[in-house]
């Protein structure tokens, strides 16, 4: 039987572990806190991140990373992006040398501007063809409730992507394979920043025209950056691009959209983040995404204005004013 270790018990890590268990993959979920591992193992529930949502009885849990990683065919990383380097350094000697390492993370590392797959390769000394990413319109609560959804599993080794596809294919979760790791990762990271902008528009009381404009022009920014880094432009018209962008920008379940909405209503970022248990990746990654764009001479005006709001103290009202007053040009 195929065996998977999912490291991280946030909402998405837990939901994806449940998917793999439902796909008859022998799955172990690692929790940092023993009491949370016991709750998953005995009560079949994650009371902290998915309260009230039943988990498969076949899903096992542990707080011992060595136990979780033992003989794993797939090692799934579901931790906050900015903690990956430190955590992976502690786990790398435990990862089986033939395992495919899968990133569920949607961020760009601060300082280095590296994608998560690049950090995995560097810190874990893992070959590119053993690194995969999962990205798509996958709001964790809906997936955990077994609502129908699709996603992309991407790896430079098409055969490895197909093995991962089989390991997470269920009656409600439909993964498509892709070899464009760069495009899938950038789609997952940039959409969080655009969702912050859409949330701000919602919080200020603006309607669907405003949000549709931000989504469409945000997709253009995502595509420009992706092409500059060697991604396939068609990736951004698919699930890992437009699909993920649409879900994250429009759903109240989206953490990044929720943070943006609260900013649009006049609350401070410190107030909002202080009340959140989970991480809104776009807040920190917006800075590294803009740095990446500058490095490659890519124009990303929405991303730039979001950075001014969340890092430099600009008001959402001024942000939208700046975007609307830019020089007119051809689409």
Question: What amino acid positions are annotated as catalytic residues?
Answer: 191
Cβ neighbors of 32 (< 8 A, separation 6 or more) are: 9, 63
Cβ neighbors of 249 (< 8 A, separation 6 or more) are: 191, 194, 195, 198, 199, 211, 214, 215, 218, 257
How far apart (Å, rounded) are the C-alpha atoms in residues 76 and 300? 31
Our separate counts of H helices and E strands in the chain read 15, 8
CB atoms within 10 A of CB 229: 17
What's the burial of 57, exposed, middle or buried (CB within 10 Å: 0-12/13-18/19+)? Answer: exposed
Residues paired with 103 in a beta bridge: 77, 133
What are 74's two structure tokens?
Answer: 């797939």
How far apart (Å, rounded) are the C-alpha atoms in residues 290 and 148? 34
Closest CA to 181 of 197, 209, 158: 158
Q: Are 105 and 186 in contact (CB under 8 A)?
A: no
Where b means 16+ CB within 10 Å and e means fewer, 215-227 reads bebbbebbbbbbb
Q: What residue ranges in 113-183 does DSSP mark as E strands?
A: 131-135, 149-155, 173-178
């Amino acid at each position: 039987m195929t065996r998977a270790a999912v490291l991280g018990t946030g909402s998405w890590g837990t939901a994806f572990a449940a998917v793999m268990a439902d796909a008859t993959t022998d799955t172990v979920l690692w929790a940092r806190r023993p009491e949370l591992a016991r709750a998953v193992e005995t009560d079949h529930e994650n009371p902290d991140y998915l309260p009230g949502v039943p988990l498969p009885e076949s899903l096992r849990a542990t707080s011992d990373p060595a136990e979780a990683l033992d003989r794993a065919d797939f090692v799934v990383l579901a931790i906050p992006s900015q903690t990956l380097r430190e955590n992976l350094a502690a786990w790398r000697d435990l990862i089986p040398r033939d395992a495919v390492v899968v990133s569920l993370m949607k961020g760009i590392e601060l300082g280095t501007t590296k994608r998560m797959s690049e950090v995995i390769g560097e810190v874990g000394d893992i070959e590119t063809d053993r690194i995969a990413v999962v990205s798509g319109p996958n709001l964790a609560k809906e997936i955990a409730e077994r609502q129908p959804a699709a996603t992309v599993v991407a790896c430079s080794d098409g055969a490895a992507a197909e093995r991962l596809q089989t390991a997470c294919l269920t009656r409600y979760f439909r993964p498509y394979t892709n070899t464009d790791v760069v495009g899938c990762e950038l789609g997952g990271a940039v959409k969080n920043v655009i969702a912050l902008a859409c949330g701000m528009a919602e919080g200020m009381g603006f309607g669907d025209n405003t949000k549709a404009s931000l989504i469409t022009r945000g997709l253009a920014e995502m595509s420009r950056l992706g092409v500059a880094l060697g991604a396939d432009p068609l990736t951004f018209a698919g699930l890992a691009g437009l699909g993920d962008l649409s879900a994250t920008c429009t759903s109240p379940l989206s953490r990044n959209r929720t943070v943006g909405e609260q900013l649009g209503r006049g609350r401070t970022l410190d107030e909002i983040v202080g009340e959140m248990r989970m991480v809104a990746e776009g807040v920190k990654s917006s800075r590294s995404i803009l740095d990446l764009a500058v490095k490659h001479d890519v124009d990303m005006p929405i991303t730039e204005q979001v950075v001014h709001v969340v890092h430099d103290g600009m008001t959402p009202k001024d942000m939208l004013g700046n975007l609307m007053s830019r020089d007119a040009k051809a689409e």
